[in-house]
Structure 1
Amino acid sequence: MRVVVVGATGNAGTAVLRALQDTPEVTDIVGIARRLPDPDTAPYAGCTWESVDIAAASDAADAITDLAEIFRGADAVIHLAWLIQPNDQRELLRRVNVEGTRRVAEAVARSGVPQLVVASSVGAYAPDSAREDRGADTIPPLRDESFPVGGIDSSHYSVDKAAQEDVLDQFCAAHPDIAVARLRPGLIFQADAGSEIQRYFLGGAVPVQLLRTGRLPALTVPKGIYLQAVHADDIGRAYAAAVVKRADGAFNVCADDVLGPQELADIVDHGRFLEIPPALVRAALVTAHKSGLVPADVGWLDMGMQVPLLDNTRAKNELGWQPRVTAADALRELLDGMVAGQGLASPPLRPRNSDEQHVAAVGEPAGAGAAAGDGTAAVNPEDGALTEDLLSLYLSDHLTGATAGVNRIERMADDYQDTPVYARLAALADEIRADRELLRNVIDDLGIRRRPYRQAAAWVGERVGRLKLNGRVVERSPMTLLLETELMRSAVAGKLGGWETLREHASELHLDATVYDRLIEAGHRQLATLDEIHEYARTRALRDDRHTYWT
């Protein structure tokens, strides 16, 4: 069987790849993503990879044509692609999540694929009134796939999942000859999703890492909280089973155990919990989200408190599927992954310490301590070659510039997801962030003081610079991308000068010159990429008859 997986690099996608690779009937796997993973690492190795923008910044006709060409000859298409962030770009989310599904389905029909398997969710269901006024000792009833679909109004994720199901209903009516399976899982957990889930939902303000050293006196939970989860590898096996059996229809997929207040407290804490009114938790989350402390909006809480609990009997009976990991163990594994900053070599799942991994991959020693072999700094006033104060000031200034550059490129990658240059911006952000980490390592190895107040000033200055209006108050100016790209070109050119200077003095500083040769080469590639982005922006920025952003 030849199977194509759309959105094959995220939490569910990586698990689906693992499951398909373990399925004897599947002989050929094609992965599709906007930003591609490292194809030499598991589970991405052994797959054919294609980069397609299904809806963020693509024309419908072009996207369907590109997808149909890739789908041709496939026995099944598994559609997993979904945007969760950014919350504040509602139209972008709707376009990718709902219109993107429509385009994938149309491409399936056009290419003659006999089966489409789609990632729906427990979030597609309407609110379950049986969940109201439930305490810690009363579990709500389980619901099968006949429970109404409708979504939770305050949750953009839930509303879009319900709309996606409506798209699939229309597609089934128009193409009764194509089997359409929709899997409705609970929360999907695995250790390798730890960093991703923290970034998407908790952010840096929630100190999950403190669980490494201690526990809370008691876990505070909203009254009536009950969660269902499934391990990523279990949901992966469900998708593989749906393909092999050419399943049709909806399937609830979750572990058998339900996580209530006591179960959550046993996992996260010492078994002690305190139930508080959901309205208080809701108000706190609204404040935290609006202040920028927490990425998740209040819709996620509302969805968790209102959707029905799932009955997974149909998946067991018709797919021959059984959960191998309990929800409790899946949550424990996720928390361990968060604490460890775990992840994989794909853009969505990048681990928290990916910058340090990049430094190691560039080649050690980055600085003097490892090269000298004795842990001493390479800057010695008695050498008479370099002046320590000048070198210290020079590298500190470069680190300040690098901090501002990282902040800018990361914001550009977040803000311009609805442009065709997003993938290049996001890849640049990863490289530039890792370059800053390497510079930090060099400074530490040389025994140079960082002057953190300068980096703090750069952080504040970059954010103040965001307040410029470019003549537009309530919408982005088409000129913004052009100006920010020009600023980034200057920043990368300055960084390149810093690498060239370190390369010039590598022998005096006991540095590995080959490291800086590679960094210089990479800097030129980064400039070339920014030139391409600038070309896109400058043809659109000063006129109103061409799209800069896809709205």
Structure 2
Amino acid sequence: MRVVVVGATGNVGSAVLEELSVRSEITSILGLARRLPDAEAEPFCHAEWDSVDIQHPESTAALTELFSGADAVIHLAWLIQPNSQRELLRRVNVHGTKHVLQAAAEAGVERIAVASSVGAYSPVEDDHPRDESWPTEGIPGSHYSEDKAAQERVMDAFEAQHPGTALARLRPGLIFQAGSGSEIQRYFLGHLAPVQLLTMVRPPVVPMPSGIRAQAVHARDVAKAYAEAVIQGARGAFNIAADDVLTGEALASVISGREGKASITVPFAPLKPLVRSLHRARLLPMDEGWLEMARRAPIMDISRARSTLGWNPEYSGTEALSEMLEAMADGAGRGSIPLRPRSISALTEHPLPAEDHQLPSGIDTGLLRSYMADHLAGATAGLNRIQAMAAAFEDTPVYPELSQVAEAVGSEHQWLSRLIQSQGFSRPAVAAPALWLGERLSRVKPYARPLKRSPAALVLETELMLGAVTAKRQGWEVLSDYAAELGVDRAVFEQLIEAADDQREHLHRVHAYARPRVFRTDHATLSEE
């Protein structure tokens, strides 16, 4: 079987790739994502790769071509953040599912498995297990749940139009694995949460909202369910979860690392407005809708997955949560942008100078320090710019290009900072703040439209980034001439130069997309697409 996995770089996608790679029935795997992973790293090395953004109607044609010759499609792509951009989330999650299903039908794919969720179910007020017949109208107040319910209606319509296609809907609980530790922190807790402290000390008691309970499942177990669904050509909905239920007390025990009573019950009523306020202040990534899901989502009966798919969870929910928490504390991740480690540069495999490294005589350390500090200051301004660009144009077809450049620039910035420190040089004290302020002021442009993006902004910002990347490339060339004196393998700088060329290619494609959309009155602007 040839299987195409849409959204293959995330928490579940990475586990599905691992599972499919060891199944004898699977002959080839094509991974699709907006932002491509490190194709040489596990488990991404087991697939061919292509980039596609499913939110746009024109993606249907590209998907149809990519699905050609496939026996099965596993659709996992789902955007959780940013919560504030509801139209973007709906386009990716709901309309994107429609585009994937339509393309699969046009390509003649006969087996499809789609990632639904326990969040699709209507709310309950008890702990009685519900099977797959429970209504899927979603939980009011949770954008995730509302979109999952809307996705179910898309699948209902598809099944009515294509009764000959085997469509399986998997509705898992919370999905955990070690590789998702850093991702889950970014999406739900944020960088301010002191999760690193869990490696040194565990809290003796943990505050827990009253009435909270959930089911969890290990990503490997979910991946097995997806594999069975497409191999068997399964139809219909399947609840996927471990047997144990994570109550507030169970959650507190895992977090504290101690048995017995480890939680303090917190009233739910005041907690919801607190989470809402922290989210709106941008101190907490998740919004209050996730609390509603934790309190009102049903406990699932997994009998059908057992009897029809022959599926059984290998891990308990407690084990999956414990593994994820340890990984979160360590900042662990994998070789894709969604799963990237918390603070590890993509260049950490390249050794820095030995701890006893000293610059040789004959080198003007003052001039070298100043040169490297100026480049780091410029890199800081460039990083701020490209990150802002990626965030501002997240709902456009060029977001994957901008995002990949932003990720690469961030890694290089981190590595250059560490290189400077390894030489005994301090970070720039004046240049960096000055360039940071200049970069911010450069965004106040006379052509900017109030409260919406200017169609010219992407063109100009891209041109400025092209100049910054070119300057950075020249800096790597200069430093490569002094690689031996810096105690760095010259090949590292050669790779950085190649990476700068690759970033310029990405930016040139962004510029080519934006140019014809800037000044024409008879063409849709970026803001209108």
Pair 1:113 & 2:94 matched: no
Q: Are 2:17 and 2:46, in contact at CA under 8 Å, matched by a contact in 1?
A: no
Contact 2:357 2:487 in 1 (8 A): no
Distance 1:435 1:470 in 2: 32
Per-residue deviation, 1:546: 2.8
Structure 2 CA distance for aligned equivalents of residues 38 and 509 of structure 1: 28
1:9 corresponds in structure 2 to 9
Query: For 1:338-372, what per-residue CA distance to the aligned partner results, in whole angstroms no more than 9, with x for missing partners?
Result: 112211112211222441x4242xx44x4xx43xx
Alpha-carbon separation, structure 1, partners of 2:472 and 2:412: 9
2:467 to 474, 490, 499: 490
- Is 1:141 the counterpart of 2:119? The answer is no
Give the one of 98, 105, 114 matched to 1:102. 98
Cα RMSD, aligned residues only: 2.2
User: What letter is aligned with 1:241?
Assistant: E
2:49 alignment partner AA: W
Q: Aligned pair 1:254/2:241, yes or no?
A: yes
1:331 CA drift (Å): 0.3
Q: Name the TM-score, length of structure 1 as normaliser.
A: 0.90
**What is the deviation of 1:10?**
0.9
Q: CA contact under 8 A between 1:189 and 1:229: conserved in structure 2?
A: yes
Residue in structure 1 matching 2:333, options 333, 340, 343 = 343
Q: Distance in 1 between matches of 2:157 and 2:506?
A: 41
For 1:94, the aligned partner's letter is: R
Q: 1 CA distance for matches of 2:442 and 2:177?
A: 39
In 2, the alpha carbon distance for the partners of 1:163 and 1:260 equals 28
Identical-pair percentage:
49
Task: Spell out, residue by residue over 1:486-540, the C-alpha distance to the aligned partner (whole angstroms, 9 max, x if none).
Answer: 2222322332332233234445555544433332343233234323322322321
Q: Secondary structure at the match of 2:175?
A: strand
Give the Å deviation of 1:484. 1.8
Deviates more, 1:484-493 or 1:254-263: 484-493
2:193 aligned with 1:214:
no
CA distance in 2, matches of 1:296, 1:214: 25
Change (3 A) 1:155 1:466: farther
1:429 and 2:406 correspond: yes
* Structure 1 residue identity aligned to 2:61: T
Aligned partner of 1:50 in structure 2 is 50
Amino acid of the structure 1 residue aligned with 2:151: Q
Kindly tell me: are residues 452 and 216 of structure 1, through their superposed partners in 2, closer, same or farther at Cα, counting changes over 3 Å? farther
Partners of 2:447 and 2:283 in 1: how far apart?
A: 27
Q: Is the 8 A contact 1:418 1:550 kept in 2?
A: no
Q: Does 1:65 align with 2:61?
A: yes
Query: The residue matched to 2:473 in structure 1 has which SS?
Result: helix
Distance 1:258 1:511, change over 3 A: closer
Q: CA deviation at 1:163?
A: 0.4
Q: Distance in 1 between matches of 2:504 and 2:40?
A: 26
Residue 516 of structure 1 pairs with residue 505 of structure 2: no
Q: d(CA) in 2 for partners of 1:279 and 1:470? A: 46
- 8 A contact 2:159–2:165 mirrored in 1: yes
1:219-238 to 2 correspondences below 5 Å: 219-238=206-225
Contact kept, 8 Å, 1:377 with 1:445, in 2: the verdict is no
Q: Which runs of 5+ in 2 are unaligned?
A: none
State the Cα distance separating 1:65 from its structure 2 match. 2.3
Q: 8 Å contact 1:9–1:349 — kept in the other structure?
A: yes
1:243 aligns with 2:233: no
Distance 1:254 1:535, change over 3 A: same
Q: Deviations over 1:96-141 (max 9, x none)?
A: 11111111111222122222211000111111133xxxxxxxxx21
Number of corresponding residues: 525
2:377 and 2:431 in contact (8 A); partners too: yes
Any stretches of 5+ residues in structure 1 without a counterpart?
Answer: 131-139
Q: Which amino acid aligns with 1:202?
A: L
Give the 5 Å matches for 1:292-371: 292-355=282-345, 357-360=346-349, 363-364=350-351, 366=352, 369-370=353-354
The SS at the match of 2:53 is: coil
CA shift, 1:47, in A, is 2.1
Map of 1:30 onto structure 2 = 30
Does 2:453 match 1:476? yes
- Is 1:408 aligned to 2:385, yes or no? yes
What amino acid does structure 1 have at the position aligned with 2:391?
D
**Alignment of 1:74 onto 2:74:** no
1:378 maps to 2:378: no
Q: Paired residue for 1:449?
A: 426
Q: Could you tell me whether the CA contact under 8 Å between 2:81 and 2:89 is conserved in 1?
A: yes
Decide which moves more: 69-78 or 506-515.
Answer: 506-515
Aligned-residue offset at 1:550 = 6.2
Indicate conservation of the 8 Å contact 2:9/2:33, yes or no: yes
Match of 1:135 in 2: none
Q: Which whole-Å CA distance do the structure 1 matches of 2:422 and 2:230 have between them?
A: 53
